[in-house]
A and B are shown apart, each in its own frame.
Chain A
Amino acid sequence: QKEVEQNSGPLSVPEGAIASLNCTYSDRVSQSFFWYRQYSGKSPELIMSIYSNGDKEDGRFTAQLNKASQYVSLLIRDSQPSDSATYLCAGFYNQGGKLIFGQGTELSVKP
């Protein structure tokens, strides 16, 4: 199992719908999870961080962490065409400060 794993997609949703992005992680990764958005040709931009079990909301974005099931998800409400990008999940190793990324999920929001 990869340390941090994402479905590469592409995920296509209509404008105004909820986009759901998922990420699973191994036993070696268990601290401080992050979601990044990356537009084509650009560097990743931090959207959300989540450190404890439960939900964290910020505007149209909600991050969910479930440590028992070892998954992190990102929900985007009222999806807009400008949300079309690749979304990267990241987490720290249990020890040593190594920050590992999943392979990313491509999201396409259709007008």
Chain B
Amino acid sequence: DGGITQSPKYLFRKEGQNVTLSCEQNLNHDAMYWYRQDPGQGLRLIYYSQIVNDFQKGDIAEGYSVSREKKESFPLTVTSAQKNPTAFYLCASSPTLGEAFFGQGTRLTVV
């Protein structure tokens, strides 16, 4: 089954804690993306990667970090520097400049 898998579906973070969201794809796509969505809002780009071992900041990268050590994987770490991390996080992948497909998303809540 080809697709994009995000885990976990729900995640709870304590104040001051770092958490890592997983994103794996088996579509052989070169590009991968992380977006944040707040209630009633569109998607804001956090980080994107067009190729293994390379990634670029999006519009709201502060307080987040990523790695792209394998083509299939693009994990996102929400650090303690992100002061308002409660949101719906979406990972996507695409061929270069092509159609992007999304995972099911991770809902992160600060407790």
Q: Which residues of A contact B (CB under 8 A)?
A: 6, 31-32, 34, 42-46, 49, 88, 90, 92, 96-104
Residue of B nearest to A105 (CB): B42
Let me know if A96 and B56 touch, CB within 8 A: yes
- Interface of chain A: mostly helix, strand, loop or mixed: strand
Q: Which residues of B contact A104 (CB under 8 A)?
A: 41-42
Tell me the minimal C-beta distance from A71 to chain B in angstroms. 17
Can you identify 9 A-B contacts, CB atoms within 8 angstroms? Answer: A31-B97, A34-B99, A46-B100, A49-B99, A92-B97, A96-B50, A97-B48, A99-B48, A99-B100
Tell me the minimal C-beta distance from A25 to chain B in angstroms. 14
Q: Which residues of B contact A (CB under 8 A)?
A: 31, 33, 35, 41-45, 48, 50, 56, 58, 90, 92, 94, 96-105
In angstroms, Cα B56 to Cα A65, docked, is: 28
Let me know if A100 and B99 touch, CB within 8 A: no
Let me know if B42 and A88 touch, CB within 8 A: yes
Let me know if A103 and B56 touch, CB within 8 A: no
Q: Which residues of B contact A34 (CB under 8 A)?
A: 99-100
Q: Which residues of A contact B31 (CB under 8 A)?
A: 97, 99
Q: A97-B96, A99-B94 are in contact. Are A44 and B58 (CB under 8 A)?
A: no
Instruction: Give the top 4 A-B pairs by smallest Cβ distance, nearest first.
Output: A103-B42, A101-B43, A43-B102, A97-B50
In angstroms, Cα B94 to Cα A97, docked, is: 10
Q: Which residues of A contact B99 (CB under 8 A)?
A: 34, 46, 49
Extra inter-chain contacts (10) besides given A31-B97, A34-B99, A43-B90, CB under 8 Å = A44-B43, A46-B101, A90-B43, A96-B50, A97-B50, A97-B97, A99-B48, A99-B94, A99-B100, A100-B45
Residue of B nearest to A102 (CB): B42
Q: A32-B97, A92-B97, A96-B56 are in contact. Are A101 and B42 (CB under 8 A)?
A: yes
In angstroms, Cα B44 to Cα A103, docked, is: 9
Query: Which of B35, B98, B104, B105 makes the CB contact (< 8 A) with A101?
Result: B35
Interface centre among A31, A43, A45, A98 (most CB of B within 10 A): A43
